Structure 1
Amino acid sequence: MGGRRGFGSVTARAPGKINVLLRVGALQPDGYHDVASLYQAVSLCEEVTAEHAEGFSVRFGGPIDCSGLSVDDSNLAIRAARLLAAETGHPGGAALSVVKQVPIAGGMGGGSADAAAALVACDELWGTGLGRSGLLPLASRLGADVPFALAGGTAIGVGRGDQLSPALAKGEFHWVLAFSDAGLSTPEVYAALDRHRERHRSDLPPVRQRVEVDPAAIQAVRSGDRVALAEVLHNDLQPAALRLAPHLGEVLELGESHGALAGIVSGSGPTCAFLVPHALAAAELVSAFAREGISAVTATGPARGARITRAE
């Protein structure tokens, strides 16, 4: 059976995230951008079950159409399990089963949540004993959003978004997440932003090399002030996402005209996140979207990071 306690399977859950605020710096020579983000983990989670196996495999289920996802070694969950095995010298593999609830290519870090949950589940299954602090350096090597999926809560991310510092949030924030049938490629959205900045260079203020999270946004989450947070929601990638998917503008208008305090494209999109004053307003907004044929769910934040939910 293996594992520290002889478990045959371990299930872990990790949260999707909303970029409450996202600033994007100038394009760097290495092809990346310096970013500054205020992340909030939300209750829409990915669930990964790991079982002992000779090799590494992954399969998907749940309410999301996963037919287009890769199940080979390029998959982020498999990469996470392989990295943990390589770093700890674990000789075996893992069969991973993922229940997806976070939209694919939706700007909410679903793949990163899969990787974080796979790290936590395999660490427990194999008895490798790294724990959250030991897994964090591995998470950083897998992608910018993986460390936050591991940590959860509310945090400021700088650099490529993976240099995290906690931003303690007071109270609970209610969100409505409106999904799109088609995903958006993160590299394509960044490229569209660069083209826009280059095209309008004479009309736009100079793009800073280094960017920071606005202090007003940090204060709003620390004080639990939903109205103040609604006033400072911002995403530098939103104009680029709207150019690539113009219908998102109509989604944002619909949400803000049906009770949302504010709406924003989450990350590179196309998921739109709406901050609402309370749970009743969230339910009413989901119903309004349903009447227009738009899929939407309620979520709350901040949510806990990757954690074990079952070990058998």
Structure 2
Amino acid sequence: MNALSGRFAARTVRVRAPGKVNVALDVGPLRPDGYHSVASVYLAVSLYEEVAATSVETPGITVSISPDSTLDLDGMDIPLDNRNLAYRAAAIMADVSEHATGVHLEITKRVPVAGGMGGGSADAAATLLACDALWNSGLSREELAHLAAELGADVPFSLLGGTAVGLGLGDDLSPALAKAQTHWVLVAADFGLSTPEVYRTLDRLRAAEGVEAPEPDGVDPRILTALRGGDAEALGTVLVNDLQRAAIELAPSLRDTLGIGESHGAVAGMVSGSGPTVALLAEDSIAAEGLAQDLRRFGLNALPVHGPVPGARIVSDTLL
């Protein structure tokens, strides 16, 4: 409330949070609880979601997609109710905040939807930070990370950013000291893949081959060494993603995208996470720009990015 007028004073907190690339993703066997243990190296990259959280007098949570979104969202089923991770993040914050109001969330989408880059998780991380500021909740980053883990394995990393090793379900995070930049070209598909379906496909392929995957207990130290030095050539030899073949099984065109990228100068390529976004590693920023231009001539949606970048950050806080 405005102390002088007694009237409601609306406020908007705008937060941006990065998407991610899984530089490594080892997947264990199906567990009795229906999940898989993983060992992953996360890299936050310079492609950001943005959430503007505005306090409103009417109780409740509403969500909209900003017209400033850079993605072609035609045909994309983005829920705007409690199936949306940002909505659920706001609901969690309302439960723990003493001065919660109604809130409207406007999401600017830039990370491919259902693309294996954690776009929805970035929305949730941005919403947690925005609502914490909006309602003066005063939670620490550690407390926010604990809430983030309730929303999904990738949400705590989008809060943290940088480079991190993820174990367990991927949410047991250890920051990695890797500040040197690596450069990538992301090739976004015009379709999405269901993460649970990709995992089910991997389980099916392994069962057909009689393969029993071990429980992952860590990541290849050569990956972290290459990231620390920003050594693209060394990193290119150790990229791994156990989900890649399952994603290609569901979307064979991904094999063609990888082939085009590698034949036009990429150091190495991989499907990012559960896909279908393809991440192509480039030698440097100039090589990434050139590779992206070449791929666009094939009609591919290619975006040069770099990482690591910081996690969720407040970019503005405005009284309306």
Indicate the TM-score class for this superposition, using the shorter chain for normalisation: over 0.9
Partner deviation per Cα, 1:42-99 (whole Å, 9 max, x = no partner): 0000000000022101111202234520001111001001101102234422100010
**Inter-partner Cα distance in structure 2 for 1:174 and 1:7:** 40
Q: Any idea what SS the aligned residue of 1:232 has?
A: coil
Counterpart for residue 228 of structure 1: 234
Alignment partners' CA distance in 1, 2:216 and 2:290: 40
Alignment of 1:9-158 (within 5 A): 9-53=12-56, 54-61=59-66, 62-66=69-73, 67-158=76-167
Tell me which amino acid in the other structure corresponds to 1:175. W
Structure 1 residues 47 and 175: CA distance shift in structure 2, 3 A: same
Superposition RMSD in Å: 1.3
Residue identity in the other structure for 1:233 = L
Q: Verify the 8 A CA contact 1:25 1:33 in the aligned structure 2.
A: yes
Q: Secondary structure at the match of 2:15?
A: strand
Report percent identity of matched pairs. Answer: 53
Give the 3 Å change call, closer, same or farther, for CA 42–215 of structure 1 in structure 2: same
Q: Which residue of 2 aligns with 1:177?
A: 186
Residues 89 and 127 of structure 2 are in contact (CA less than 8 Å); yes or no, is this contact kept in structure 1?
Answer: yes
- Structure 1 segments of 4+ aligned residues over 3 angstroms from their partners: none
Which SS does the other structure have where 1:134 is aligned?
helix
Q: Is the 8 A contact 1:18 1:273 kept in 2?
A: yes
Q: Distance in 2 between matches of 1:279 and 1:96?
A: 34
Q: Greater shift after overlay, 280-289 or 30-39?
A: 280-289
Q: SS at the partner of 1:149?
A: helix
TM-score by length of 1: 0.95
1:198 aligned residue: 207
Q: Distance in 2 between matches of 1:59 and 1:230?
A: 39
The aligned length equals 306
Alpha-carbon distance between aligned partners in 2 of 1:213 and 1:90, rounded to the nearest angstrom: 43
Residue segments in structure 2 that go unaligned for 5+ positions in a row:
3-8
Deviation at 1:210, TM superposition (A): 3.4
What does residue 161 of structure 1 align with?
170
